[in-house]
């Protein structure tokens, strides 16, 4: 498969409903990745937790492997090489030691090589209405670096799921030249219904970048319900493609030149200014002291 010589390319997002069994999840993902490649997509993204969806930390640790021994990673590297695509695995649980994993994205090149790794920066520790509660930090170690990758058609910024709520990350990626940004996710149904569309569109508008977000969707074996609705959004905030709740593939033909056009129309990235927080009647130093 020949890759686009300019900033135009077809991107596809694979939506999954991963469960307990790693091998079954890999088979489902592979079938949909093949379908995506058959549409002509040269960049294919899968969701967060592609290989397994588990709520119990001990089960995640039991299933996790080191990067060197990761069966899912090896299979996806071989698949990317077979199909000749950039395959972006939203995340895998990678074993770091006996008590911790990394929630790690992999960008795999058409020759099967790993061109970028990103460990999720912001971990999902929340208590939602109805007793729904998550503590990702119980077994995951956060990353420490934002990551960009240069592809033949443009510069990609990497993020994962809960990162979406931290706009400073996306502005930093855009300021560093990201023309499209990945947000593979497993948003809960409760938070997705309330916030998913507006946050994805906001990040695209704020950064003047395409945002591509492959998701988990539906009721999983572990009893967790994820929102689905994988999205491809333009730098102007337009929804170019959207999934439903069921597993499947969505795709769109992108021209990353639209990122520069959007940033020229609204040059907010150039207009940002440093500032201090002040409380009326008090010095900035006093305000900082009170906030600490």
Positions annotated as catalytic residues are: 48, 120, 161
Q: Is the separation of the CB atoms in 154 and 166 below 8 Å? A: no
Burial label, 224 (beta-carbon count in 10 A; 0-12, 13-18, 19+): middle
Question: How far, in Å, CA of 229 to CA of 1, rounded?
Answer: 29
114-119 and 101-108 beta bridge pairing: antiparallel
Q: Closest Cα to residue 143, out of 179, 105, 115, 114?
A: 105
Instruction: Spell out the residues 6+ positions from residue 289 whose beta carbon is closer than 8 angstroms to its own.
Output: none
Distance of CA 289 to the CA centre of its chain: 36
- For residue 40, the SS3 value is coil
Instruction: Spell out the residues 6+ positions from residue 126 whose beta carbon is closer than 8 angstroms to its own.
Output: 133, 134
Question: How far, in Å, CA of 141 to CA of 22, rounded?
Answer: 21
- For residue 101, the SS3 value is strand
- For residue 141, the SS3 value is coil
């Amino acid at each position: 498969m020949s890759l686009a010589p300019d900033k135009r390319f077809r991107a596809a997002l694979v939506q999954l409903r991963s469960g307990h069994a790693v091998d079954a999840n890999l088979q489902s993902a592979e079938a949909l990745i093949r379908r995506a490649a058959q549409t002509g997509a040269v960049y294919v993204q899968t969701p967060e937790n592609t290989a397994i969806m588990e709520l119990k930390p001990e089960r995640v640790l039991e299933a996790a492997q080191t990067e060197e021994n990761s069966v899912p990673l090896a299979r996806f590297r071989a698949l990317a090489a077979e199909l000749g695509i950039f395959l972006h695995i939203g995340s895998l649980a990678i074993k770091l030691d006996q008590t911790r994993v990394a929630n790690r994205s992999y960008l795999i090149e058409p020759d099967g090589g790993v061109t970028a790794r990103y460990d999720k920066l912001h971990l999902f520790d929340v208590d939602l209405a109805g007793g729904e509660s998550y503590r990702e930090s119980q077994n995951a170690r956060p990353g420490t670096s934002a990551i960009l990758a240069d592809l033949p058609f443009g510069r990609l910024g990497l993020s994962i799921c809960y990162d979406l709520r931290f706009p400073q990350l996306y502005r930093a990626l855009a300021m560093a030249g990201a023309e499209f940004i990945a947000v593979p996710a497993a948003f809960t149904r409760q938070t997705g219904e309330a916030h998913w569309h507006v946050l994805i569109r906001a990040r695209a508008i704020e950064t003047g970048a395409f945002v591509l977000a492959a998701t988990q969707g539906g009721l999983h074996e572990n009893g967790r319900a994820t929102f689905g609705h994988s999205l491809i959004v333009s730098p102007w905030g337009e929804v170019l493609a959207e999934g439903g709740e069921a597993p499947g593939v969505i795709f769109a033909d992108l021209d990353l030149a639209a990122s520069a056009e959007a940033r020229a129309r609204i040059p907010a990235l150039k207009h940002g200014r440093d500032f201090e927080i002040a409380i009326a009647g008090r010095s900035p130093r006093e305000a900082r002291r009170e906030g600490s």
